[in-house]
Amino acid sequence: MTPAPLTARLSIPSGPLFFPVTAYGPDGAVDLDTYRTHVRRGVEAGAAAVFACCGTGEFHALTPEEFDGCVAAAVEAAGGRVPVVAGAGYGTALAVRYARLAEWAGADGLLAMPPYLVRAAQEGLLRHYRELAAATSLPVVVYQRDNAVLTPATVVELARTDGIIGLKDGHGDLDLMQRTVSAVRTEAPGDFLYFNGLPTAELTQPAYRGIGITLYSSAVFCFAPEIALACHTAFRTGDEATAHRLLDGFYRPFVELRDRGQGYAVSLVKAGVRLRGLDVGEVRPPLHEPAGDHVARLARLIERGHALLEEDK
């Protein structure tokens, strides 16, 4: 797929952007059958795109062979109904290897994860992402967070780079993002995309919408697609009453629970998928499973979220 079609398909999504967890069997090996089921259910529930083997999908814990199998399985399960974007990261050489694996597996695009471990100057980050984009025909979305925070000038250069179509922000500095959006709009006008990539992005999405960023990742969609879809629809249609009810009654308590443990942005989501009846296994080290009382609180919170949906009927 060329950059333009993927940009068009992501620009005005009909539903949440789905970041599936990676399923493991009792022996800890990747369970592709369960993974296909997870992806297929998400697409059928209304996902606008599948972002396979990214942060929620434990990209860091997958071997290249497992990554290849998971991306191919996601492409198969999506069946062309929505685009599949795959993670790619570590140093430049490994990121290129993952990008080519994703391309051969049939992915429609890449999410460029931050480089592993190092903190680099803007010039080095720009070179890294440009070399990644040049090594594949897949369009690239750059993921800004942690050790890869970009200046507006760097993002302008990325927007001018063939094959780079957008920026996902997991840093959360709205002042920086406002200046970035303004700089690209004036110095590299076009169809460059922006995504709110903070954990549980729904809670901060009203603020991101205020600076024109309407796309966001939804981990909640993994285990409560009905709630995530209702929230997405409320944002899209300007239904503030529904949005506020879900944000106040479900999303804020979920974020407070998520913040009770390191790595819960992944492990608590995976626990939620299991609570909804699909055994996707546990997280791999160094992540750890959430405490039992936290899982029980999550179960009650999911029930509360569905009760909130009934109030709107």
Question: What percentage of the chain carries pLDDT values higher than 70?
Answer: 98
Q: Give CA–CA dist 88/98, Å, rounded.
A: 5
What pLDDT band is residue 4 in, cutting at 50, 70 and 90?
low
Computed over every residue of the chain, the mean pLDDT equals: 96
Q: Which of 24, 35, 129, 168 is catalytic?
A: 168
Which residues are paired to 196 by β-bridges? 169, 216
- pLDDT of amino acid 183: 98
pLDDT at 226: 98
Rounded CA-CA distance 47/40 in Å is 10
How does pLDDT run across 111-132, given as a tens digit for each residue? Answer: 999 998 889 999 999 999 999 9
pLDDT at 13: 80
Element (H, E) at 78: helix 64-78
143 is catalytic: yes
Domain ranges of the chain: 3-236
Task: Name the pLDDT band for 2 (thresholds 50, 70, 90).
Answer: low
Residue 57: band (very low, low, confident or very high) from pLDDT cuts 50, 70, 90 = very high
The domain 3-236 is placed in CATH, from the list 3.60.20.10, 3.20.20.370, 3.40.1050.10, 3.20.20.70, at 3.20.20.70
**Which structure tokens are listed for 105?**
């597996």
Query: Could you check whether the bond before residue 286 is cis, i.e. omega within 30 degrees of 0?
Result: yes
Confidence (pLDDT) at 14: 84
- 287-302 pLDDT, tens digit each: 999 999 999 999 999 9
**Count of beta carbons in the 10 Å neighbourhood of residue 241:** 9
313 pLDDT more than 70:
no
Instruction: With H, G, I as helix, E, B as strand and everything else as coil, classify residue 84.
Output: strand
Query: Which pLDDT value is given to residue 117?
Result: 84
Q: What is the pLDDT of residue 207?
A: 98
Q: Which region holds residue 127: left if phi is over 0, alpha if psi is between -120 and 50, else beta?
A: alpha
pTM of this prediction?
Answer: 0.96
Q: Which of 24, 35, 98, 143 is catalytic?
A: 143
Is the separation of the CB atoms in 108 and 85 below 8 Å?
yes
168 is annotated as an active-site residue: yes
pLDDT tens-digit readout, 79-105: 999 999 999 999 999 999 999 999 999
State residue 289's pLDDT score: 98
pLDDT digits 0-9 by tens, 169-193: 999 999 999 999 999 999 999 999 9
Q: Count CB atoms within 10 A of the CB of residue 312.
A: 12
Report whether pLDDT(1) > 60: no
Distance, CA of 109 to chain centre: 13
Per-residue pLDDT tens for 196-247?
A: 999 999 999 999 999 999 999 999 999 999 999 999 999 999 999 999 999 9
Section 252-268 average pLDDT: 98
Residue 11: pLDDT band by 50, 70, 90 thresholds? confident
